Amino acid sequence: PVKRITAPQIAARKAATPIVALTAYTAPMAALVDAHADVILVGDSLGMVVHGLPSTIGVTLEMMILHGQAVMRGSNRAMVVIDMPFGSYEESPAIAFRNAARVMAETGAGAVKLEGGARMAPTIRFLVDRGIPVMAHIGLTPQATNTMGGFKTQGRDPATWPAFVEDARAVADAGAFSIVVEGVMEALADQITDAVTVPTIGIGASARCDGQILVLDDMLGLSGRVPRFVRRFGDLGASADQAIAAYADAVRDRSFPAEAELYR
Ligand code: KIV
Ligand code: NA
């Protein structure tokens, strides 16, 4: 069997060839991503993207495990990282370990990701010391949407930058093998990347990050309104719409099914 990319291998990619990361939530999409990416993130964005929730707040551990299992079945090369959902890790390092251990054991994934900077450092240390690789996530952290008052670009005021750089240092010192840097001013993302020896993976951050990540459905053109930082590399939404409309027409005018599609 093909060996998967490991957390230490990703950690070693600082200032090297950029790390290619994308989300996936299902087995067939994971197979498509696996052919090209280094990291597949089972993001809690699946709450909004797949389940139609208004935010990631309502995502459960069970949802993450179910989608994590599907993504593991559909891939065999990339490292699979699974988001810890809101409420499953913030309370204490012990509770975080218990839930992260379930995610690792029930999915077979290579790591978990959790949101938060300096305040989550003791938890990251606790998990890493006990065998669970952790990807950190700082800057715009969507699980904090209610305290932030929406999804807002972080670091617009340079006076706030030292705190973000401190967050990056704290999670790196705690043993995180990489850091997602989301929704920050480009110059702040560059400061963060220069401040730590582990790779940064940017989304709405900077081309100088050590890797990039996007939500798969967003970059494929399958979602509605997307933030400025999303480039639509495809237009699958439009092509799905065309195909569904053509099917509806063919059913209504009885041109489907045709002879070749029937058993006679
Ligand atoms: O949930 C998610 O998809 C994420 C990425 C956008 C980093 O956390
Ligand atoms: Na997430």
The CATH code of the domain that includes 58 is 3.20.20.60
- ipTM of the predicted assembly exceeds 0.85: yes
Q: How confident is the model at residue 2 (pLDDT cuts 50, 70, 90)?
A: confident
Looking at the fold, whether 56 and 120 belong to one and the same domain comes out as yes
Q: Is residue 1 over pLDDT 70?
A: no
Provide the pLDDT for residue 243. Answer: 98
Same-domain pairing of 61 and 139: yes
Nearest CA-CA partner of 84 in 200, 6, 180: 180
Beta strand 178-182 pairing with 200-203:
parallel
Distances (CA, A) of 262 to 255, 256, 258: 12, 10, 7
For residue 178, list its beta bridge partners. Answer: 135
Query: How deeply is 77 buried, as exposed, middle or buried, from its count of CB atoms within 10 A (0-12, 13-18, 19+)?
Result: middle
Share of the chain above pLDDT 90, in %: 98
* 251 and 183 co-located in one domain: no
pLDDT above 70 covers a percentage of the chain that reads: 100
Position 2 in a domain: no
Q: What is the pLDDT of residue 139?
A: 98
Whether residue 221 sits in one domain with residue 246: no
Structure tokens at 77: 């090369």
Q: How far is CA 160 from CA 63, 114, 179, 232, 262, in A?
A: 35, 22, 19, 31, 66
Alpha-carbon distance of 122 to 85, in angstroms, equals: 18
At residue 18, the 3 state secondary structure works out as coil
Flag whether pLDDT at 229 surpasses 70. Answer: yes
Name the active-site residue from 91, 182, 186, 259.
Answer: 182
According to the annotation, is 106 in a ligand binding site? no
Across the range 67-77, mean pLDDT stands at 98
User: For the segment 46-57, what is each residue's pLDDT rounded down to a tens digit?
Assistant: 999 999 999 999
Separation of 45 CA from ligand 2 center, angstroms?
A: 5
Question: Which residue, judged by its Cα, is nearest atom 4 of ligand 1?
Answer: 43
| Mean pLDDT computed over 1-19 | 94
The domain in which residue 256 lies consists of 235-264
Residue owning the nearest CA to atom 5 of ligand 1: 43
Confidence of residue 225 (pLDDT cuts 50, 70, 90): confident
| pTM attached to this predicted model | 0.97
Q: Are residues 244 and 185 in the same domain?
A: no
If asked whether residues 132 and 250 sit together in one domain, one would say: no
Count of the separate structural domains present in the chain: 2
167 lines ligand 1 (CB under 6 A): no
Residue 210 counted as domain residue: yes
